[in-house]
Chains A and B, each alone.
Chain A
Amino acid sequence: EDKVVQSPLSLVVHEGDTVTLNCSYEVTNFRSLLWYKQEKKAPTFLFMLTSSGIEKKSGRLSSILDKKELFSILNITATQTGDSAVYLCAVGAAGNKLTFGGGTRVLVKP
């Protein structure tokens, strides 16, 4: 059975702090790892990672994948209150199916 585990479950930081979120996985027929941000409604896509060791960046967010150790991290630097959300990690397998982790809830205080 495919499994995706995210840690920590939740964290509280202050504006300007750096946050590191973890995602580990055990998936058959791995194709890619995706990160989504979920505020009050639908998850919105952040990154898709398919190759080990190549960092993807978008503004203050960055992510990297380690396919040997089966994990990914998502970093958020210089956090802002607008970064408060649940961050979801999902692993894509055959059939374009996604298996999601339980999410990490991030609260950024002013």
Chain B
Amino acid sequence: NAGVTQTPKFQVLKTGQSMTLQCAQDMNHNSMYWYRQDPGMGLRLIYYSASEGTTDKGEVPNGYNVSRLNKREFSLRLESAAPSQTSVYFCASSIQSGRVFNEQFFGPGTRLTVL
């Protein structure tokens, strides 16, 4: 099993360009998440998808959109990149079942620089 995979690993954009970060998991998890990590700030939740067909905003959703394409895939789109979106982006997945809380498994990350 590959676990959680993300593409690309690195990306450099110019201000105003758009791009989509891809994430896929092969663990049959129903919930998926997108985080960004900036120095000294831990991880902050951008969007999440509790189950296929649903998406919700997290702590820092402005400037981003997401698509839960199917159970395996959850993409993050930057429509018009800004330098403030320079960060490392992590995708994660977990099993969510009623009130039982389960740990999240993380992908290797995408390092994005916006010039």
Contact = CB atoms under 8 A, between A and B. Distances in A.
Q: Secondary structure of the A side of the interface?
A: strand
B107 A96 contact: no
Interface residues of B, number: 28
B75 interface: no
Interface in A79-110: 88, 90, 92, 95-103
A97 B45 contact: yes
- Chain A interface size, as a band, is 20 to 34
Contacts of A34: 103
Interface of A: 4, 6, 9, 31-32, 34, 41-45, 48, 50, 88, 90, 92, 95-103
Interface of B: 4, 31, 33, 35, 40-45, 48, 50, 56, 58-59, 90, 94, 96, 99, 101-109
